[in-house]
């Protein structure tokens, strides 16, 4: 959300957290959402209902781990900070205990290339970060490792995490990720999915590098022109 004021970012974080629950990605006070801001980030508070929270309840956390305000940040603030430090392209992060992603996370397995849309998240698989107690530095380090070359990962026996360029994109990514997890889960109920080859996934990744990037359009039949749009697939 380039150019947004801090107040707008606070409202955006809260709206994304509420949308996360509305889309079935999360229930209750589990999960968390953040957005990069100034020399730190804004993150949802720990243990508070998103429907009952206000924009001023969103917590500003500095990169040194200190924070301002009366509320305490999410217990998972460490992996938000460390992902922002490791990935300059990350503008927003969403962590959820969504049903299908969490089910797969409890199997402690990576998601293989059963569908070409795996490439949407940066590679030919989606990794599962090794288990560590929630809120710990160990978990944060495991998450950063699982995200190498990716914008999404599972967290073993825990849930899922995605990052994107801004809050709108990160919510879209989370919904797409949970959809893929559901498809993989359902396919596994029938049998072992047929996996795409490394060569095919390389071709798909190449196509995703340019997919959806619209150049200037010719004038339409009414004499007007259509504006250039951003790539739907960019994170």
Q: 3-7, 8-12, 50-54, 90-94: lowest mean pLDDT where?
A: 3-7
Average of per-residue pLDDT values in the chain: 90
Q: Is the pLDDT of residue 111 over 90?
A: yes
- CA–CA distance from 199 to each of 147, 202, 204, 208, 214 (Å)? 22, 5, 9, 14, 27
CATH number for 6-190: choose from 3.40.50.2300, 3.40.225.10, 3.30.1360.40, 3.40.1280.10: 3.40.225.10
Parse the chain into domains and list their residue ranges: 6-190
Q: pLDDT digit string (tens) for 143-182?
A: 999 999 999 999 999 999 999 999 999 999 999 999 999 9
Q: What is the pTM of this model?
A: 0.88
Q: How far apart are CA 97 and CA 79, in angstroms?
A: 15
Burial class (CB in 10 A: 0-12, 13-18, 19+), 169: buried
Q: pLDDT digit string (tens) for 51-109?
A: 999 999 999 999 999 998 889 999 999 999 999 999 999 999 999 999 999 999 999 99
Beta strands in 7-135 (DSSP E): 32-37, 40-43, 59-62, 92-96, 128-129
For residue 27, what pLDDT is reported? 87
Asked about 76 being catalytic, the answer comes back as yes
* Helix H or strand E encompassing 153: strand 152-155
Active-site residue (options: 76, 89, 178, 230): 76
Greatest pairwise CA separation for the chain in angstroms: 60
For residue 69, what pLDDT is reported? 81
Segment 116-120 mean pLDDT: 97
Q: Is the pLDDT of residue 186 over 60?
A: yes
């Amino acid at each position: 959300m380039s150019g947004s004021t801090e107040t707008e970012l606070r409202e955006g974080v809260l709206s994304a957290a509420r949308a996360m629950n509305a889309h079935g990605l999360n229930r209750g006070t589990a999960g968390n959402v953040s957005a990069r801001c100034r020399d730190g980030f804004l993150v949802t508070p720990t243990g508070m209902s998103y429907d009952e929270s206000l924009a001023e309840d969103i917590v500003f956390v500095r990169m040194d781990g200190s924070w301002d305000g009366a509320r305490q940040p999410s217990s998972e603030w460490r992996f938000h900070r460390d992902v922002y430090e490791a990935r300059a392209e990350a503008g927003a992060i969403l962590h959820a205990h969504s049903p299908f992603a969490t089910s797969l996370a409890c199997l402690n397995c990576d998601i293989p290339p059963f569908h070409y849309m795996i490439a949407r998240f940066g590679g030919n698989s989606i990794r599962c970060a090794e288990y560590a107690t929630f809120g710990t530095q160990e978990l944060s380090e495991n998450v950063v490792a699982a995200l190498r070359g990716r914008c999404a990962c599972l967290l073993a026996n825990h849930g899922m995490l995605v990052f994107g360029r801004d809050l709108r994109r990160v919510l879209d990514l989370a919904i797409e990720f949970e959809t893929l997890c559901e498809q993989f889960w359902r396919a596994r109920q029938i049998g072992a999915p047929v996996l795409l080859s490394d060569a095919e996934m390389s071709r798909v990744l190449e196509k995703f590098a340019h997919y959806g990037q619209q150049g200037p359009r010719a004038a339409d039949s009414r004499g007007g022109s259509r504006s250039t749009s951003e790539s739907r697939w960019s994170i």
